[in-house]
Structure 1
């Protein structure tokens, strides 16, 4: 009888549990490396439509228009595929449909992957394997890493974990609240398009502009939510929450991305470090505005603290998502 009561409650409130179950799946399975991973399949759809619509001989105006058309076809294709999968799952039974919903949200979030990469780099630095740490950090950043010292490896890792808290955790959950699992998948599609087409080089300067701008627009609210989550997390974890708020308000706008600074600046403030500075891409040196004050010299411990802040923001995001769903259902 008690088991039936539990099952009845879960059946009634199962949608509330989707963010929690998706997070648990991520903690257990992580981000499996497989050619059948949905994000890999999304990448193949993007590559297909890019091959169809991109022509090197087109002028800039045509590239801009065809890039926008490409974005539309990609989103429509992923929407149709995802809807079809859910429809087929529903034909089997409601529990298969529910499991597919959980899996769709699970594949759009990546806290374990972010944390695992950071802990691995921390381990290599602790053991003195600086060359291995440089190679490992090159897997998660776009800058040249061959000559980075521990401080710069730390900076690169902290910046990446902080910024990816937006598109790897908060934004997918935000769009889940708005449009369910399909919302999470469409967001991940837009974010993947930006990572594949949003470069400011000869090929993508115009063709990838719509993809890049769409990603900026979609991340605008989630980035500012992440800012608040990091400040709250800093308070809970007894880091410097007032400084996280102050530096976030002072420096977030300095980031070249309209959203990246709202994740990185509060982390810099909370941990008393300075992010930004000189980076090298394909042997070309560039400068990014500083965020935060260098009260402490960056070292591997700051990576660990950033990971803790990322997980703290994740727990808060899941808690808020669950509370919002619960509130709308009751």
Structure 2
């Protein structure tokens, strides 16, 4: 069953407060409750929520959501028109002029495609469209259909001309899909908008792509829950403490459909043409830039536990939490004294 929300703004002042007790050497100081300014919109195919914990106004939220809309209108392939749609429509024919933002995201996409030997490939669009996972048209394609679409995938056939600001897909039928990277870029852009408007403390949540700005208003790190990949969004298996960090999670819980008792999730393997089938149920990436976390969450999910762990350990300043299908949890060394299991059904293995 597929649920959808209308693209409607729901701006609200949050109904909850944060109350913290700060200990000093000789006394206790009570920090006044803080009511964040909060806004929620359905954009980029997901629920986007921004909570600002500084003295601010709803005009800042307007600017932040406007920026999300601008990115969606430029990079989506699910709207009537965008720069990426124009590139796809001109595949095999001609280069298309693009904005600086689209150029940046495409360059990052090609970088991570090269680093993962095509495991994360932004030209995966033909397969994404074929499977239709997350839409009413979701189905299991034939092996023949999959082979035809696989032949169209190849990041090396996306040609970027930075001097003339153009992008060109060499072969007709190729399709760019930025679903594995655009939300990360957008979270970074929203963070920049908030900084430019003197916001220091905020939580940006773009459908599970979380960016924690600054520290909590109490002066302590933000506590962020790690998604349980076996339930709907919102349930957690553990907690980490972060400041000025992005936490991006990819997992089998996000978009999927079932056919003949088998579940098909949305993270597709560019080598097999089918949803990735390994021991991983979910992976969370902790990074400074959300665009990195977004690309890496898909990349290491595709690589699997062992190769994914090795890959993350080569990335400076990046950490990861892997959850396997048998509810074992593996973390990278930088999270050793940070991550805490909160659900007894899961076991920390390293």
TM-score, structure 1 length as denominator?
A: 0.32
Which structure dedicates a bigger proportion of its chain to strand?
Answer: 2
- Which of 1 and 2 has higher RCO (CA within 8 Å, sep 6+)? 1
Which structure dedicates a bigger proportion of its chain to helix?
Answer: 1
TM-score, structure 2 length as denominator?
A: 0.31
